[in-house]
Structure 1
């Protein structure tokens, strides 16, 4: 009996020593995502496949990514400034090369009754924005020496690994409650950063 237990324990430990293998690729637009296998790092225990859509000025840009991921990166939600909106739909799995499918972009959602401050094109951040879908948080996004933006975000985005992926010099602060992100007058130059699908985050490093 003791021998059987020792063999079972050894097999379990040995099986966990193998790293996970996931497909990796990135594509923008309607083109295919040409996937290739990749061996994950020890802390990357998930294979991820996600679709990010950035809508601004009535134009939507879609990015599809497959990669290894840590559990905190398996999130879905949206990030909305009123001028631009980024949605992320993620599917994660735990077996080798299981991320072979591409999830569809999150569909348009109706307003949910929550409001947050946002910044209009005239540098005035006293405007209000009606949040949509799962956006149950207000946010302030800050980059030193550049500026900040405000708007609505999903809880999953605020509690995920987005802050770390943006780097030590960037700050994303989320809060609960209507108009909790204050109405300060600030610059708009950082808005253009939100029109890019947060590439460092999407590629999972």
Structure 2
């Protein structure tokens, strides 16, 4: 009986002394959320690869990321396909040391110059008559409107318009640190000066049964003795934002699922700080190990670095090994 080439490779690999083969980060998911595990490469896989796919079809942008071992046949390449009704962008990156492919990677999407309406104010001052136009640069391929409502007894709104590279599109970023509640929603469009309207953000104050520890650290030790707060609406997770590497808590409270992806511009956290999410009453106790499900192969795959810039969200898979 003939053995397959793959089986032979695995048998040969098993005979090698430990430590001679490559280990890579492995995952399939979204660029900003790709829970990782460790993949042991076989003999002919000499590189670790990160591959990202972007598809633009009928104005809708989707994206996916693949990470794993590779033979190095499609390394460090970018591919662009235009079918008229659909555009596809593919970028691959390779490296040759253990677990070197753990960075967040997006497909390279070169775009023509786009003009968008620009404003920073509120729903009144960012009305259509008060807008100016700005030319986007580089890979900024979306006009964006970010509308945020703050609720603390009374409510107020903040509106930001301009260019972006998109992955906040359609996101609903809600959080409550026990005082002011923030409801932020983002809309995008892809043709000149299309972002003229203002979003209507619906505030849901209905209790959902979840309770979380809450605090907002200002340097006076507020997060050393956090209190509890009741979550509302779509705030179905507890959040713990910590400084890094010191590990001091900066903020705790309730949040929506999109905040857990590390996409919140309004929380004003730096890239050196970490955002942890968990589910269950009072789960955000400050014990980071408890935030990860038992048996997870890599805790780092469940940690979301909060970025303060608008990135592009996109999702397609084409595995090039």
Partner of 2:281: 178
Residue of structure 2 aligned with 1:140, choices 218, 222, 240: 240
Partner of 1:20: 114
**Normalised TM-score (structure 2):** 0.47
Distance 1:66 1:165 in 2: 18
Q: Name the SS of the counterpart of 1:116 in structure 2.
A: strand
Q: Which has the higher contact order (CA 8 A, sep 6+)?
A: 1
Question: Aligned-pair distance for 1:67?
Answer: 1.3
Question: Which digits, 9 at most, give the CA deviation of each residue in 1:145-201, with x for residues without a partner?
Answer: 8852210111112215327963224332222333221168xxxxxxxxxxxxxxx95
Residue of structure 2 aligned with 1:45, choices 125, 136, 141: 141
Question: Aligned-pair distance for 1:63?
Answer: 0.6
Distance 1:44 1:78 in 2: 25
Does residue 1:91 correspond to 2:187, yes or no?
yes
Partner of 1:159: 261
Residue of structure 1 aligned with 2:162, choices 67, 87, 95: 67
Unaligned runs of 5+ in 2: 1-81, 88-109, 288-306, 312-321
Partner of 1:4: none
Give the paired residue count: 178
Partner of 2:42: none
Structure whose residues are more often helix by fraction: 1
Q: 1:10 to 1:112 in 2, by over 3 A?
A: closer
Q: Name the SS of the counterpart of 2:167 in structure 1.
A: helix
Q: Is the 8 A contact 1:117 1:151 kept in 2?
A: yes
Unaligned runs of 5+ in 1: 1-8, 185-199
Q: Is the 8 A contact 2:145 2:198 kept in 1?
A: yes
Distance 2:111 2:259 in 1: 31
